[in-house]
Amino acid sequence: MESIALLIVLLAALMTPIVMARLRITQVPTAVAEIIVGMLLGKSGFDFVQNNSTLTQLSSLGVIVLIFLSGMEIDFTLFKRSPDRKTAGPQQIQPVPLAILAFASIVVMAAVAGVGLQLLGAYRHAVFATIIFSTVALGVVIAALKEKELLSKPFGQTMLLIAAFGEVLPLIALTIYSAVVHPTDKSIWLLLLIFAVAIILLLRFRKIYQWFAQVDKSTTQLDIRLAFFLIVTLVTVAAQVGAESILGAFLAGMVMKLLHPRAETQEKLTSIGYGFFIPIFFIMTGVKINLRTLLADPASLQLIPLVLVGFILAKLLLIPLLRLRFKPRNALSGTALITTTITLVIPATTIGRNLGIMTSQQAGAFTLAAIISCIGAPILFNTLYVKEKEDEHKTVVHFIGANILTIPIAQQLTQGFYDVALYTDDESRYKTYNSEANVHLLPGFSEKVLNDAGAYQADIVVIGYFDNRKNTALAQWALAAHVPRIIARFEAKNIESDTYDQLSAAGVEIFNTLESNISLLRAMIESPSTVKILTDTNAGIYEITVRNRRFTGMEVKNLPFIDDITISQIYRDRQFIAPHGDTQIQLGDHLIFSGDKAAVGAIRREMELLN
């Protein structure tokens, strides 16, 4: 009978997204639909599925994998301080402080809602209710932001940070609360051990993880083996120190993320999780809800709207706070999106039942209220959101050195999709070229002067002086400033110095006029048509980097603009791939293609949009 029950659950997991696609149900998250299907299959509906040991184990693995993948969704780059080059004025609050302030307001209002439930006699554990009310469904928020391509915008970054806080901090609070309410012979300070183990694992695997790519084979899948090793290790440590297993799973996801896995690795882990384990967890969550008993109990029935009001009340102060940076309508839409909660509510109610502070009827009421929020909140967000008046992001290129080489290039780039500036410490050159390009005169070149002037706040820094020693220092300062791409000119190599090789090994791209001329002349002899394409004013060869997750997994033949271009090569993981019609695009791919220059701008805007 256990195998039949598993078969029914797997069939339901297969058919649910198919039916949703056929009926064009796009506003309801798949997880919510799976819970509803589980309710139909369980005691609330036709009672086709009963809980058993096999389904319980698979469901437990499902929640662990779900929380692990949530940990991998944390974008740690958002916590790095990066100047906003397009800020309209000093009064604009940046995403990180705004998100911190916003989540602090959530905690305060969640406490008000928790105490309110206690005063009304609906639920007497106010602290536990506060933790649940402060949760946010990070996965649902990310999916909604991706769909609207907002992850790279200040609005999307702010929402993502609030959602990250709403998943990380309540999870930690839940673990501490569980240890306090249900004390064991283990000290609560042992909880710190799990964080120590996470740090040790991160430091241990950071260097060798990149080596995995060199020895990995299709039959070994080392990156996936490492992921599950991290999960089991930290979940086991969590259990040994008296913490909740979901905390270990979440930390494992964060460790995996900090190891900088390939996009392909995250895709494979997502496929395993959402393809098998996680749907079982959500369907079995619905199976365990007994609507008949819940609706027959007046107290439980009354609790559902009260809990829903609590979820809304906890996020209510977000509206005035988000208006500090965004349009009033978007402040409302963002608040609606952050009201979405489901991921942590279900494990939290399970913990509440295990601690004896929540009945099955109360757990069902909290779960149903969370389901309602997951259905209504994304719909409100999609309906209310309007585009912010933000400048289109261009690739920022800064030239250090204004001369006959850099000025013409800067002039040509300015006509395209680049934000170009030049910096010089030579007043005569400034007077000569100031009218021809965006040139900034600095009193002198030092690391502090350049940083203060914002010379290294760019996507690409081109160092174009004729002096090799000067270029070496400028390149080293650019490396210290963590510029994403550095191109440095070196006309002569000193064979007695290894500086040239050190800079190249550190990632500096070396430009040499003689070598470039030799390469160009050879190309004119061997491939004259290719050179003509490169120098043609209407057509050319271009390279773009895929940053928009909307194109991840899409086959080349299905790209919306494939009729306008010809993709000759895909550069992926330091290797060139000859593309075919069924070749799937991956995040971070470099597409090398030829086509009409007029079409390149739109393609670049779509595919290089960070999302």
Concatenate the DSSP letters of all residues of 267-323 into one string. Answer: HHHHHHIIIIIHHHHHHHHHHH--HHHHHH-HHHHHHHHHHHHHHHHHTTTHHHHHT
Any idea what DSSP says for residue 497?
A: -
Q: For residue 375, what pLDDT is reported?
A: 83
What pLDDT is recorded for position 83? 45
Q: What integer best gives the mean pLDDT of the chain? A: 82
* The pLDDT of residue 89: 41
**Same domain, yes or no, for 507 and 536?**
no
d(Cα 142, Cα 150) in Å, to the nearest integer? 9
Between the alpha carbon of residue 511 and those of residues 359, 414, 465, the distances in Å are 69, 21, 11
Helix axes 2-22, 30-41, angle to 10 degrees: 130
- Measure the CA–CA gap between 220 and 223, rounded to whole angstroms: 9
Same domain, 416 and 377: no
Confidence (pLDDT) at 131: 94
Report yes or no on 548 lying in a domain.
yes
- Asked whether residue 519 is domain-assigned, the answer is no
The answer to whether position 390 is within a domain reads: no
pLDDT at 593: 81
Q: Would residue 261 count as lying in a domain?
A: yes
Predicted confidence at residue 195, as pLDDT, reads 79
pLDDT, residue 214, reads 61
User: What pLDDT was estimated at residue 283?
Assistant: 92
Q: Which residue has the tokens 């829903």?
A: 308
pLDDT at position 321: 94
Distance, CA of 237 to CA of 190 (rounded, Å)? 10
Q: What pLDDT does 568 receive?
A: 81
> In the prediction, which pLDDT does 84 show?
46
Q: Specify whether 362 is located in the same domain as 470.
A: no
Signed CA dihedral, 50, 52, 54, 60: sign only? positive
553 neighbors 267 (Cβ within 8 angstroms):
yes
In a domain, 150, yes or no: yes
Per-residue pLDDT, 540: 67
- The owner of tokens 């639920």 is 123
Same domain, 463 and 599: no
Q: What is the pLDDT of residue 12?
A: 94
CATH of the domain at 246: 1.20.1530.20
Locus of tokens 């609706």: 295
Q: Which residues of the chain have pLDDT under 70?
A: 1, 75-92, 183-191, 207-220, 242-243, 263, 389-393, 414-416, 492-497, 529-540, 597-598, 610-611
Gap between the Cα atoms of 374 and 381, Å rounded: 11
| Together in a domain, 344 and 311 | yes
Structural domains of the chain, count: 3
Q: Provide the strand spans (E) within 345-410.
A: 395-400
Q: Would you list the DSSP string of 519-576? A: HHHHHHHH-HHHHHHHH-SSEEEEEEE---GGGTT-BGGG-TTGGGEEEEEEEETTEE
Q: What is the domain range of residue 300? A: 2-78+91-384
